Homo-oligomer: A and B are copies of this chain.
Amino acid sequence: MFQLHPALQKKDYVCDLPFCKVLFEDNANCPWIFLVPKKENVRNMLDLTTEERLVLMKEIEIAEKVMTRLFNPDQTNVAMIGNMTPQLHVHVICRYQTDACWPGTVWGVPGIPYLGDSKKEIIEKIRKEFELCLK
């Protein structure tokens, strides 16, 4: 049975797509979500069939479009790393030439949690944009 790895269970939930769960990274440096394929025992993309990879790529496209429309980044980083959390999760990250990590990658730089209700508001925005995109 599919279940989220404990490290991913701690992330905020955004919504479900047909193949992936969408989760949110509480880091005000950059708008940042994850796509987690809802298939059990998936460490990395080699554990997906070709067909599942293509479905994943379609959902990555939706995620990039949602994030781009909302946050208008200078660049979008899409990555499957998984060295520390051994369950496939695709990072989709909005990057700006003015962000704290630019032009480096976001990993290894301590995050800054959102303040007050801003996290809840941003997650709600993302959820609504996914709904619009999936209609």
Contacts and interface: CB of A to CB of B under 8 A. Distances in A.
B46 A64 contact: yes
Contact of A45 (B50, B78, B83, B84): B78
B60 A81 contact: no
Contact of A76 (B44, B58, B108): B44
A103 B57 CA distance: 25
Contacts of A75: 43-44, 82-83, 86
Contacts of A83: 75, 77, 95, 102-105
Contact of A58 (B50, B77, B78): B50
* Pairs A-B, 7 closest by C-beta atoms: A79-B79, A83-B103, A57-B57, A78-B80, A105-B107, A84-B103, A77-B81
A131 interface: no
A69 to B, nearest CB: 11
Contact of A79 (B68, B77, B84, B102): B77
A33 to B, nearest CB: 15
A68 B81 contact: no
